[in-house]
């Protein structure tokens, strides 16, 4: 093992030239707090705060609105089905027609919600706050009723757009393809 006592442990672009870590401190973890503070301070200075609202926030609100409409419609369907099961023969035809209308509306609202979900996944956040909001929103949607917003490749698209935002904020080269 090398007996070096003093070495830069990472790129000088992250740490200033004046900040060098003793190898032993780094290996034993004593320099971890110093490293985190240095990286955080250097990156915080390079992150610009956008003047315009982050487009991901509008995409989240669009999806939230469309999802809520769909959720209310599904609740109406459930109520209509329960009522239909308890209904007398004389009311069944009217309730069946009402349920058929609700089911037809579900197709349209479902497609609207899916499009809003895809727009959300494709939207590249303009800030780290926006990236965090997007990930939080998807996590919260799943926590409520185990609703997975993204199946198949939608989740990969969301991760890719979020990765691009983080790279931009960190001053890193953004990936060109998410696949």
Each of the 179 residues of the chain gets a pLDDT tens digit; together they read 444 443 433 333 333 444 443 333 333 333 333 333 444 444 545 555 546 789 999 999 999 999 999 999 999 999 999 999 998 888 899 999 999 999 999 999 999 999 999 999 889 899 999 999 998 998 888 888 777 777 666 778 888 888 888 888 888 988 876 55
Calculate Rg over the CA atoms of the chain.
Answer: 26
Cα–Cα dist 128/166, whole Å: 6
Joined tokens for residue 6: 């003093």
Q: What's the confidence (pLDDT) of residue 150?
A: 73
Q: What's the confidence (pLDDT) of residue 158?
A: 84
Contacts of 136 (CB under 8 A, 6+ apart): none
Cα–Cα dist 108/104, whole Å: 7
Question: pTM of the entire structure?
Answer: 0.63
Joined tokens for residue 159: 């991760």
Dump strand ranges (E) for the chain: 6-7, 21-22
């Amino acid at each position: 093992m090398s007996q070096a006592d003093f070495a830069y442990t990472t790129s000088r672009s992250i740490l200033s030239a004046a900040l060098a870590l003793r190898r032993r401190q780094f290996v034993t973890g004593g320099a971890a707090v110093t490293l985190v503070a240095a990286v955080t301070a250097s990156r915080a200075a390079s992150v610009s705060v956008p003047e315009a609202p982050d487009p991901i926030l509008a995409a989240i609100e669009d999806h939230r609105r469309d999802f809520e409409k769909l959720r209310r419609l599904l609740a109406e369907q459930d109520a209509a089905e329960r009522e239909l099961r308890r209904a007398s023969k004389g009311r069944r035809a009217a309730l069946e027609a009402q349920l058929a209308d609700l089911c037809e509306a579900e197709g349209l609202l479902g497609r609207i919600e899916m499009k809003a979900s895809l727009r959300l996944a494709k939207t590249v956040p303009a800030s780290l706050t926006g990236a965090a909001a997007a990930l939080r929103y998807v996590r919260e949607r799943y926590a409520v009723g185990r609703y997975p917003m993204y199946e198949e490749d939608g989740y990969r698209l969301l991760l890719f757009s979020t990765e691009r935002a983080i790279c931009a904020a960190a001053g890193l080269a953004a990936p060109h393809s998410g696949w």
